[in-house]
Amino acid sequence: MTGRESFKKYHPIIAVLGMFFSVFGRKGNLFLLKGFRHTSGKVGLVLRYVFLKNAAEFVGENVSVQPGVYLLNVQNLHLGNNVSIHPMCYIDAKGGIKIGNDVSVAHGSSVLSTNHDWTDRRVPIKYNTVQLEKVIIEDDVWIGCGVRILAGVHIGSRSVIAAGSVVSKNVASNTIVAGVPARMVKTI
């Protein structure tokens, strides 16, 4: 049975769990999401989905957050349908992150929506202001393992980001990008 089929089959139970845990509010669900970050198996997948749905800006159907994923500032996180986020990923949505439908984020990847400013020379860089820049990942994108997506990037639909790439600029639709920094390899 595929993940989509399992989600459809158990959707009534998941919906009841969602309503039950909604009484804890956004903060309570965020606390539970962190507490069940490393819970394995189907129970962990379902609970993380329920807690994230109750805490995030928006979460579509059939969203899989695997164990060991670090999600920060989820109140600014928008996830479409059929999104999978694999182990050891780090996603900080402080500046806003929108991920479309049918997106897979492979293990060990990072998506950041903040960046340090370094213009105030009177203050060490790490204490300069933080810039918030929204990240948009459109539908049907495959993000390979160990990818770094930096603040302000817009990734077009039906794109592939090769393993180990650092994406610091926008990615056009229907392309494969690779490298540090990521550059277009070919159109698809």
**Which residues have a catalytic role annotated?**
116
Phi-psi region of 62 (alpha: psi -120 to 50; beta: other; left: phi over 0): left
Residues near 142 by beta carbon (within 8 Å), at least 6 away in sequence: 103, 104, 106, 159, 160, 161
Report cis status (omega within 30 of 0) of the bond before 124: no
Q: Rounding to the nearest 10 degrees, give the CA dihedral for residues 6, 11, 15, 16.
A: -90
Alpha helices by DSSP H, listed for the chain, are: 3-22, 25-35, 41-55
C-beta separation of 171 from 185 below 8 A = no
